A = this chain, B = another copy of it.
Amino acid sequence: MDGDHVLLYLDQRRTFLVKVEAGKTFHTHKGFIKFDDIIRKEYGSTVLSSTGVRFTVLRPLLRDYIMKAVRRTQITYPKDIALIIIFSGIGPGSQVAEAGTGTGALTTALAHFVRPNGRVYSYEVRGEFLETAEKNLKRAGLMEYVELKNKDITAGIDETGLDAVILDMATPWLVVPHAYKALKPCGTLVSFSPTIDQTVKTVEALKENGFIDIETVECLMRGMQIERGKTRPQTLMTAHTGYITSARKALEPVSEKEA
């Protein structure tokens, strides 16, 4: 386990994604943990901190990498990432362009699912993010499936024949004509935007640029407190992250009215 990343799990609100290094320690508010105590263990085992608090040593899942990658920029929640993946139709082998990279949370998910023979071309105009994104992708072991590009995607997409273009950026509508050229026929565009106004502009651009099957949804996820005799939804929830718009490239678009 030496050199691997593990998720130290105290409870659902307190988890730590750390790299195990022989001879070193990890400090928490519940005392420190010696990595040498972990290296000898199997995944799923527990370890005691210096103050006697028990942590479970978990192998990180995709969603752990996603949640821990989120920092400094607007959060794309796992629920939204999940829907973006499904709406895009991608899977192992897909060629995908994405913008903006941000801290690489969505990039991580895309790379995870296009493995082993697909590729993610991730555009980010703000150079300072790319270093963080690269660190997060390397931590998840997914950097080899990604090409990080310090470029403005509103100026054009270098690739062609893409399966999907995924947008989580301020002005997705400016990318729509470029996406049409970059996509193979029937390729998908999926865009995530927090505001109504961004969504309206994006849908208009899609209609004007040869896309069909245009659909916008929002998704509300609510946690449940499950306990016999006391079961109830949780008290607080995220009320909004963003609207997800998806569409497919047609070659000879028909107006919905003609149909």
Contacts and interface: CB of A to CB of B under 8 A. Distances in A.
Interface of A: 9-12, 42-46, 53-54, 56, 58-59, 61-63, 78-79, 81-83, 85-87, 89, 91-93, 109, 112-113, 115-117, 184-186, 188, 194-197, 199-200, 203-204, 212-213, 215-224, 226-240, 243, 245, 248-254, 256, 258-259
Given A79-B83, A83-B82, A224-B216, A194 B232 contact: yes
B43 A213 contact: no
Nearest to A225: B216
A219 B216 contact: no
A86 B245 CA distance: 20
Contact of A56 (B89, B237, B245, B250): B250
B243 A224 contact: yes
Closest 7 CB pairs of A and B: A44-B185, A61-B89, A237-B239, A233-B240, A44-B251, A82-B82, A82-B86
A103 to B, nearest CB: 18
A258 B54 contact: yes
B79 A91 contact: no
Nearest to A223: B217
A21 to B, nearest CB: 20
A169 B9 CA distance: 29
Nearest to A42: B185
Nearest to A142: B91
A195 B213 CA distance: 23
Given A54-B259, A82-B86, A234 B239 contact: yes
B239 A235 contact: yes
A150 B117 CA distance: 33
11 contacts: A11-B256, A43-B184, A45-B251, A46-B252, A56-B254, A59-B185, A92-B116, A219-B221, A233-B239, A235-B239, A237-B237
Among A92, A203, A229, the most chain B Cβ lie within 10 Å of the Cβ of A92
A118 to B, nearest CB: 9
Given A44-B252, A54-B254, 19 more contacts: A44-B186, A58-B186, A59-B186, A78-B86, A81-B86, A91-B115, A196-B232, A197-B228, A199-B226, A199-B231, A200-B226, A200-B227, A218-B221, A219-B219, A219-B222, A222-B239, A226-B245, A235-B238, A236-B239
A219 B83 CA distance: 11
